[in-house]
Amino acid sequence: MKTRFELLSTLRNGWAEAAPAFWTAPGLPAEAVEPEAALMRGSAAGERVAHLGCGDGRLSRAMGPGIVGVDVSPALVQAARAGGLLDARLWAGPPAPLPGSPFDGLVLDAGWLTWPAAELAAVIRAAADALKPEGWLRLPVLLADDAGPPALLLAPTGHAAQQWQRWMTDAGLVLEADLDSGWCDGQRRGPQGPAPGLPEAAETPAVDAELLYAHWMAAADAAFESGAALEAEACLEHATATWPQGREGWMQWTFHRLAQGDLRGAALLTEAWVEARPEDAEGWLRRAEVAEARDKPAEAHAHLAEARRLGLSGHLAQAADGVAAALASPQR
C-alpha cells in the first residue's frame, strides 16, 4: 500500500486519481488530525476561513466551525459533504475565482505542493485574491533542499525559499513567518499599499493552460476507469474550459454524450468544438455525424463538406464515407 508521501508525489499526474487514496493512506493517523488541524488553521474565533485542498473534509472539520472546504475534485467535494462538511465547494482551478470568497483567512493544503511552478504561483495568486483586506494565508512549504521521505523528494516538488517568498509577495502578501518553520504565513496588503521595505509586486507568471488541461484530462481518464461517469464528465468540462484548443477533451466529452444517447448535448459540444478549433477537420466530421444522427441532412452535408475541405485521411476518411453513405441511403 502506498504511503501518504508516495501519493503526494503522484498528485500532479491527476488529483482526482490520487486524492481519494491520499486521504486514506497510512501516514495521516486519526490521532494526528486534531493537532495538524490546529497548526494549519491558526485563526481567531469568528473568522471565516477556507481550506483549499480540503480532500474528504477531515482536517477541515477538525479546524472548527465556519470552515469552508474547497477542492478541485468533484468526488472529494461530495465525500466532504457526506462526511459532515456541509459547506464544501468545487473549484475549477485558476484563473477562476475561489467560490465563497472573500475570506478572513485561507489555509492551502499540502496537496498543492506537487503542482508545477507556474500552476502553483497561479494558485497562490487566486488564494490571495480571495482574501479580505488584511486577510491571512497559511501554506506548508517544501524547500528544494528539504530532507524528507525519498519518495516525495523524487518528484519535482521542492522550490527554493526565494521562490516561495517571490510567489507570496507577487500575490500582494506581506510575509509574516520564517520559512524554516515549515510554514509560510502572509497577510494581504491593506488599503495603504505595501509595507515599508517590501518590493513592489512583480508580474505573476501566466497560467499554463495546457498543463492544467493535461491535469483535468488525467483526472477524467482515472474517473472513467473507476466507473465514475459524472465525475469524469465534470473533469472534461474543466479541461475544455481551461484550454479549448485541446482536441482530446472535446472528443471524449462528445463520445460520452453520444454513449448516453444525448444527441442534443453532443450537437452543442461539437458546435463548441469547431468554434474553439475551426481548422480541426475531425471536429467538423463529428459535427456531421451528430447532425446525421439527428436527421438534419442539410447540416450534415455542410459539416461534412467542411471536414473534407480541411482534409481527412485514414480512419477519419473512412468515417466520412460512412456519413456520406448514410446521407445517400434511400431509406432516409
Q: What is the pLDDT of residues 116-142, one digit of tens each?
A: 667 778 888 899 999 988 888 887 665
Domain 244-327 class, CATH top level: mainly alpha
Select the more confidently predicted residue: 111 or 230: 230
Q: Is 302 exposed, middle or buried (0-12, 13-18, 19+ CB in 10 A)?
A: middle
Instruction: Decide if 4-188 and 244-327 have a common fold.
Output: no
What φ, ψ does residue 107 adopt, rounded to 5°? -110, 125
Select the more confidently predicted residue: 59 or 215: 59
The torsion region of residue 203 among left (phi > 0), alpha (psi -120 to 50) and beta comes to beta
Give pLDDT, residue 198: 30
Give pLDDT, residue 159: 56
Q: Report the alpha-carbon distance of residue 126 to residue 128 in Å, rounded.
A: 5
The residue extents of the domains of the chain are 4-188, 244-327
Q: Report the alpha-carbon distance of residue 205 to residue 126 in Å, rounded.
A: 12
Select the more confidently predicted residue: 114 or 154: 114
Contact at 8 Å (CB) between 253 and 240? Answer: yes
Mean pLDDT for the stretch of residues 272-295: 94
pTM: 0.49
Is the predicted pLDDT of residue 330 greater than 80, yes or no?
Answer: no
Contacts of 281 (CB under 8 A, 6+ apart): 307, 308, 310, 311, 312, 316
Of the ranges 1-10, 131-140, 250-259, which one carries the lowest mean pLDDT score?
1-10
Contact at 8 Å (CB) between 175 and 197? Answer: no
The 3-class secondary structure across the chain, one letter per residue, is: CCCHHHHHCCHHHCHHHHHHHHHHCCCCCHHHHHHHHHHHHCCCCCCCEEEECCCCCHHHHHCCCCEEEEECCHHHHHHHHHCCCCCEEECCCCCCCCCCCCEEEEEECHHHHHCCHHHHHHHHHHHHHCEEEEEEEEEECCECCCCCCHHHHCCCCCECHHHHHHHHHHCCEEECCCHHHCEEEEEECCCCCCCCCCCCCCCCCCCCHHHHHHHHHHHHHHHHHCCCHHHHHHHHHHHHHHCCCCHHHHHHHHHHHHHCCCHHHHHHHHHHHHHHCCCCHHHHHHHHHHHHHCCCHHHHHHHHHHHHHHCCCHHHHHHHHHHHHHHHCCCC
Give pLDDT, residue 315: 94
**Encoded amino acid at 228, one letter:** A
Select the more confidently predicted residue: 75 or 197: 75
Rounded (10°) angle between helices 281-293 and 247-259: 10
**All three cell numbers of 66:** 465556519
Mean pLDDT for the stretch of residues 208-237: 77
Q: Report the alpha-carbon distance of residue 235 to residue 28 in Å, rounded.
A: 27
Give pLDDT, residue 190: 54
Q: Report the alpha-carbon distance of residue 77 to residue 55 in Å, rounded.
A: 7
Mean pLDDT for the stretch of residues 289-315: 95
Is the predicted pLDDT of residue 6 greater than 50, yes or no?
Answer: no
Of the ranges 43-47, 69-73, 240-244, which one carries the lowest mean pLDDT score?
43-47
* Fold type of domain 4-188: Rossmann fold (3.40.50)
Contact at 8 Å (CB) between 121 and 95? Answer: no
Select the more confidently predicted residue: 81 or 121: 81
Give pLDDT, residue 38: 56
**Encoded amino acid at 307, one letter:** A
Residues in the chain: 332
**All three cell numbers of 253:** 466529452
Is the predicted pLDDT of residue 40 greater than 80, yes or no?
Answer: no
Q: Which residue has the cell 453520444?
A: 258
Mean pLDDT for the stretch of residues 76-83: 88
Give pLDDT, residue 148: 35
**All three cell numbers of 328:** 445517400
Q: What is the pLDDT of residues 156-215, one digit of tens each?
A: 344 556 676 788 888 888 776 555 555 566 777 655 444 433 333 333 334 466 776 887
The torsion region of residue 122 among left (phi > 0), alpha (psi -120 to 50) and beta comes to alpha
